[in-house]
Amino acid sequence: MAYNFDKIYINGHWCDSTSGRFIEVENPATLEHFAQVPEGNEKDIDAAVKAAHEAFKSWSNTELAVRVGLMKKMLTIFEGYQDKIIDLEVKELGAPVSFSVQSHCVYQYTRTQSYIDCAMQLPLEEHLQASTVYREPIGVVACITPWNYPLGQVVQKVIPAILMGNTVVLKPSQHTPLTAYLLIDAFDQAGFPAGVINMVTGKGSAVGDALASHPLVDMVSFTGSTKVGSKLSQRALESIKRISLELGGKSPFIWLPGSDYEKAVGKLFDSIFLNSGQTCTAFSRLLVAEEDKKTVEALLLKHIPDYIVGDPSDPKTKIGPVSSKAQFEKITAYLKLGLEEGAKLLTGEIPTDFSHGYYIKPAIFTDVKNSMRIAREEIFGPVLCLITYKTIEEAIAIANDTPYGLNAAVFGNKQKAIEVAKQIKAGNVYINDAPRDVTAPFGGYKQSGIGREGGFAGLLEFTQPKAIFDRSSF
């Protein structure tokens, strides 16, 4: 491996940042600063974007089969880094090893392979009555990714963008940047042309803004909070760049009356508690029939002990620390707020000490009204809100009474659940125990974002259509 955490990657080379400054990476379980990455600046961004702009001239004209071949080679190399990826996710994010293996590592291989498979099937030409529509690459894509899924969100952007003939400048989160180095190293080892992929680490306020406003950047793809995404997109739109945003959520899970709720607990708890609740699609609002409230509360309490909080390196641990002091303080403030608003803590506690790691036990609020801030704002932690409804119509209204629309779920009779799902304003809705489909489009309604990731839709996101009216008579 040629990578070095003290370097950035520009034009096919690991090099020093011109800033000469570094950002410490903290292990949230031990509070140890165990690595550092460069604090990139505008000069670094300018060099990376210019390299990507120059590389686009030839990469955009490279045959799809060649791009796919290189991506297959990259994936083979990257799969060899599995143990290192898991180790780094445990250390930089605090994700338990039991969760990191599948969700932070193996699933990212699956996603990459899915994009490769879809790229080879994707029709990039469409013949209409008097024209042909060609799908062409957009240009230089700025990929700005979050800390909660350090590798997953990079894969969702970088892989489809490059497969479609674009070039990329990646800015991973300053808090969890390390696994991105492994991916870039795999690209480097696979022999991708210089400038096709570049990476500059640094603070979002400097590096992210510089990317969004650079005149040679053609598209900005961002995943993160709605607040930051709104500001970043405004900066990008000053020069009318293409934007793709995957933002926040406050996802509802409707349990239909009379169902066998025991079968639904695992899906609910895995969503809101694994990764310490730091998941944009987490089912953070549980909607149950008013008459079933006591039964559901007892059921939730029964299964809480299954979700062990502790050392993320212990295979028995299901919930590790939250990612940072800022996260710890934010979630703690929401726990206090919930009590002030009149909700009741069915389980959980308000933590007071983080000297041995940023640990927060899973919390469940009951007696929650959907008008409360804890039910409307994205807490981004292991905090579940239990809300009751009187009728199915009211459940649907509560589910849709949110500024977000990223994810949702319905549990109960399959046909009835599908009927309810169709009325929920969200980009993704799960029925009962249905698994995630990696080829399906992923993205949100309302303030949850613009654009889609995954499958054919995720590839087309990084293309632009050109109509050539070619049915001429001579």
What is the SS3 assignment for 376? helix
Compute the distance between CA of residue 242 and CA of residue 240 in angstroms, rounded to an integer.
Answer: 7
Annotated active-site residue 385? The verdict is no
42, 92, 246, 378: the catalytic one is 246
Structure-token pair, residue 408? 């949702």
Give the number of other CB atoms < 10 A from CB of residue 138. 20
HEC letters along 21-45: CEEEEECCCCCCEEEEEECCCHHHH
**309 SS3 class:** strand
- Grouping H, G, I as helix, E, B as strand and the rest as coil, residue 287 is strand
* DSSP letter for each residue of 82-126: HHHHHHHHHHHT---HHHIIIIIIIHHHHHHHHHHHHHHH---EE
**Alpha-carbon gap, residue 364 to 264, rounded angstroms:** 16
Q: Put residue 367 in one of left, alpha, beta given phi > 0 → left and psi -120 to 50 → alpha.
A: left
Strand partners, 142: 169, 220
Which H helix or E strand runs over 221? strand 219-223
Q: Is 275 left (phi over 0), alpha (psi -120 to 50) or beta?
A: left
Nearest CA among 89, 119, 92 for reference residue 36 = 92
- Whether 341 is catalytic: no
Q: Which residues are CB-contacts of 52 (< 8 A; sequence separation ≥ 6)?
A: 140, 167, 168, 169, 195, 196, 198, 216
Residues serving a catalytic function are 246, 280
